[in-house]
Chain A
Amino acid sequence: MAVRNLLQAIHDALEEEMRADETVMILGEDVGRAGGVFRVTEGLQEEFGPDRALDTPLAESLIVGSAIGLSVNGMRPVAEIQFADFIPPAFDQIVSEAARFYYRSNGAWNVPITIRAPYGVVPGGALYHSQSVEAYFCNTPGLKVVAPTFPKEAKGLLKSAIRDPNPVLFFEHKRCYRLLKEDVPEEDYTVPIGEAKIHREGEDITVVAYGLVLHTALEVAKKLSGEHGIEAEVVEPLTLYPLDRETILDSARKTGKFLAISEANITGSVTAEMAALVAREAFEWLDAPVMRLGAPDIPAAAFARPMMDAFVPDAALIESAMLELARY
């Protein structure tokens, strides 16, 4: 075991996969010589050379489009979009192309690419360095969308993403990069795509969350247990599309009270799908209305701190929602 943070765990997964399989390569703006704007890919160009750790022109559609072409000609590319906010120019290549190659060719051409995209609110990030854009892609059959929060799952999930024969979007919350360290296995392991993880068992309420707000939810759950004896079950979806419906529903049926949290704009977000699922499939087990927390429907987090703080559901808001649900 090695103690690693999220950023290091992602780096390790890339390094190990590149060592194990010479078709694995990374490409993107700044990923090579500079080692990535967050240093995720640091050292990879030194070890694997400028072709397998490839600096591209600043052109997102090209980055994803050329990754598609690399993959159909035998490579396993990991493309980086430096911030998720800049993914829209690549949207067509991801949604109309990568996601549909397999279906539209009746199974002849598949696209084994991984697209890494740092997302989420970070101080100073403002409108164009803080967005949570995952919902745009969670309505697209043919894509897989994962968003791990902790180092251990991130490493195993990135390996699964690289080995998966389909296009996988891999979202990394920037503020979680250095938030926490944990023991991460050094031997080869994978975490399966499509399976949620129960971080904390509980009987009273179910809370599903990912990213920064998952950390907050876990802290609040601990506090409520100590102060009120309320035991929250905290579930991390890990894969946002397709969702692990069974784990989410099992938990909702067990506790009868369901809260889903993300920091994405609330309308049409991934939590809306979870809420609809639980309302339809666990209705007779519910003892309270399904609840959700998310960002208000404004474009993104603002630059100035007070406005930024108002964007992401904080501990106080999450605590009051969990208490309200528990007491319902």
Chain B
Amino acid sequence: MYRAMLLARRTDERMWILNRQGRAAFVISCQGHEAAQVGAAYNLRPGYDYLYPYYRDFAMTTVLGQSARDHLLSLLGKKEDPNSAGRQMPGHFSSRELRIVTASAPVGVQYPQAVGSALAFRLRGEDGVVLVSGGEGSTSEGDWHEAMNFAGVRKLPVVFLVQNNAYAISVPEELQVAGSIAKRAEGYGFPGVAVDGNDVLAVYEVAKEAFGRARRGEGPTLIEAKTYRLTAHSSDDDDRRYREREEIEEWRQKDPILRFERYLFEVGLLDEEKKEEISAQIKAEIDEAVEYAEAAPFAGPEEALERVYAEA
């Protein structure tokens, strides 16, 4: 868990450096969300359960098996990018093998699709679970409510994870969300849980319970993981226009990675030596990934015309 969180963070940080150096056109970040994502994704059975991620779910895809190299290839839009071969911006994850369903930019569209995949598991009598994720801004969309309602009506094996990071681009939570997100689940007939999204073990625990309920045929669960976005919305967004630096600094004190690190030190699962070793491994992995991705070829212009329609 610690390694996945740290790999996601360090890779993300490197992406911003590449962007500021003019070597990467666009970055969208998972920084601050690592605990929420890793805690939830650890319950997925890769290649069996389905994941419908949103554009910040970098650390989730890391848990499922996407590497720093995969993410760098995607960042630079190279042909080997496993998500889209350079067709989409970074952050639009996809892997058929890992059952990460291809994502798009419009907000909230993944929820009805996720309940459809959950319904397919139900129709076949299988115990597959669908994890679908989004930010708190996506709970303003009609698609979210339509999907919550249908999941409740049919008791579908789906786990809704809302990563409430307090901002939908520039609009703060108090202008975006009426009442409590977690409590809305009650109106749709299933449990909703609010959890500290910066505590990876707490998220893991509530997600484990939710996955268990889904597998036992007891229906959906909504998890609201309360966290914070440590970067601007994207590399093209200037968050100084809408939030104070002090606020970010306050949240940096609650950094989910530092918090987990402290815990691991306390219980004796991590020490300085081990920490240095993991850091060095991750740095080497990222260095290699940057080098590899920068040298990797782009798809040719003719490939833009291919694979519009699937052949029978």
Contact = CB atoms under 8 A, between A and B. Distances in A.
Interface in B104-122: 104, 106, 109, 111-122
Contacts of A100: 104
A141 interface: yes
Contacts of B124: 74
A97 B104 contact: yes
Given A75-B123, A102-B308, A65 B87 contact: no
A48 to B, nearest CB: 11
A77 to B, nearest CB: 8
A207 B102 CA distance: 43
Given A73-B121, A96-B106, A163-B312, A66 B83 contact: no
A65 B111 contact: yes
A93 interface: yes
A30 to B, nearest CB: 15
B113 A56 contact: no
Interface in B170-202: none
A252 to B, nearest CB: 26
B149 A59 contact: yes
Contact of A109 (B85, B96, B120, B130): B96
Contact of A103 (B101, B115, B118, B307): B307
A164 B311 CA distance: 8
Contacts, number: 139
Contact of A165 (B92, B109, B146, B310): B310
B143 interface: yes
Contact of A108 (B92, B96, B111, B119): B96
Output the residue of A70, A92, A97, A104 with the most chain B CB within 10 A. Answer: A104
Contact of B116 (A66, A105, A165): A66
A26 to B, nearest CB: 13
Contacts of B92: 104
A261 to B, nearest CB: 28
A101 interface: yes
Nearest to B123: A51
Interface string A57-72: 1010110111111111
B310 A93 contact: no
Contacts of B149: 57, 59, 62
Contact of B101 (A61, A72, A142): A72
A101 B119 contact: no
A107 B106 CA distance: 20
B112 A105 contact: no
Output the residue of B85, B95, B106, B310 with the most chain A CB within 10 A. Answer: B310
A25 B146 contact: no
B310 to A, nearest CB: 4
B147 interface: yes
A103 B52 CA distance: 17
Interface residues of B, number: 45
Interface residues of A, number: 45
B167 interface: no
B307 A102 contact: yes
Contacts of A141: 308
Contacts of B309: 102, 142, 144, 166
B84 interface: yes
B153 interface: yes
B94 interface: yes
A66 B312 contact: no
A110 interface: yes
Interface in A258-273: none
Nearest to B120: A73
Contacts of A62: 112, 115, 143, 146-147, 149-150
Contacts of B95: 108
A68 B104 CA distance: 14
A106 B109 contact: no
11 contacts: A69-B130, A74-B124, A75-B123, A77-B116, A92-B106, A92-B143, A96-B106, A103-B87, A104-B88, A106-B87, A109-B94
Given A92-B143, A165-B311, 17 more contacts: A52-B123, A57-B153, A61-B142, A65-B112, A65-B115, A69-B112, A70-B116, A72-B113, A73-B117, A97-B104, A102-B308, A102-B310, A106-B307, A107-B310, A109-B94, A142-B309, A144-B309
Interface of B: 50, 52, 83-85, 87-88, 92, 94-96, 101-102, 104, 106, 109, 111-124, 128, 130, 142-143, 146-147, 149-150, 153, 307-312
Q: Which 7 A-B pairs have the closest CB atoms?
A: A69-B116, A65-B112, A66-B116, A73-B120, A110-B310, A105-B102, A106-B85
